[in-house]
Amino acid sequence: MREKLEALRDEALAKIAAAEDVKALQEVRVAYLGKKGPITEVLRGMGKLSAEERPIIGQMANDVRDAIKEQVEAKEAVLEGAAIEAQLASESIDVTLPGRPVQAGSSHPLTAVIEEVEDAFIGLGFSVAEGPEVETDYYNFEALNLPKDHPARDMQDSFYFTEELLLRTHTSPVQARTMEKHKGKGPVKVICPGKVFRRDDDDATHSHQFMQIEGLFVDENVRMSDLKGVLEAFAKSFFGPDRKIRLRPSFFPFTEPSVEVDVSCGMCGGEGCRICKQSGWIEVLGAGMIHPRVLEMSGFDSSRYSGFAFGMGVERLAMLKYDIDDIRHFYTNDVRFLKQFNRM
């Protein structure tokens, strides 16, 4: 029995050494260590041995089984490592090949214009305020001196959810909310960028949805000359240092007096051309001194405080600055159009 076990051990170790892959190795393991293997048969025949031989042969059988098992595990590790090396070699990547270029995106032209306007006004001491796009009738109209029967509401017809809830038609409600938060104490100096909505027919210069930036400054002794100085500084920053502005009388319910603000034409330098319709000037925004009633409704004493407000369309600024002829280009997501602004 002892010679048989030694022969089984030597035979199994030889086959383990000769195994060329994991499958062949597993066949050796099953053949010698399986339930029907020769070592198992030896252990089953232990009952025929004498009491003196039984522990000796049993120990020897266990030693042979452990030796075979140990060699199988060692050989398996070697074969698996070789298989991994072969796989890595067959699936190698040539790292010297040039990489595939990843196209980098950029800010949308409207986003870039908003950020440029914000930078200009932050440099003048303004902060940025935002508010809800779904607004109440009170903040969108009534708090801005536009009662329910005011005819000026017709110019700002919007999309209504209920009689008292609508999509805002301008960012002026943010100004009213900001003044309320100050509880009648100045100064208040903010710009309010955001999306607004009106029931307009979409064409080259109109859209039912567009971006707007409004500004507000409330403090003691604020004058029209302060408004002109701020807007002139903005125009030079945004359009160029050689540009000039002019103020023309106008009407807005929430400002008194009110003005339209024109900037000198950059194409002709103010001489007159087809862009400015031979006038030398291009209209860019509306502004004015805040109506005393608006100040009072927001909690400010109009005998002590005064202020100015202004509003501009972001699309109009972008169209003027980059000579874009159709507002719809901003919303069609045409990559050919957007690629022109990659370096902005």
Binding site: what residues are annotated?
Answer: 256
Q: Whole-angstrom Cα distance, residue 212 to residue 196?
A: 7
Q: Whole-angstrom Cα distance, residue 4 to residue 13?
A: 14
Helices then strands, counting H and E runs in the chain, come out as 11, 10
Q: For residue 245, is it left (φ>0), alpha (ψ between -120 and 50) or beta?
A: beta
Query: φ and ψ at 290, to 5 degrees?
Result: -60, 130
Sign of CA dihedral 31, 34, 36, 37: positive
164-181 exposure pattern, b = at least 16 Cβ within 10 A, e = fewer:
eebbbbbbbbbbbbbbee
**β 281-290/305-313 pair status:** antiparallel
Q: Measured at the alpha carbon of residue 15, what is the angle toward residues 11 and 18, in degrees to the nearest 5?
A: 140
Are 135 and 173 a contacting pair, CB within 8 Å? yes
Q: Whole-angstrom Cα distance, residue 150 to residue 287?
A: 20
- Residues annotated within the binding site for Mg(2+) are 256
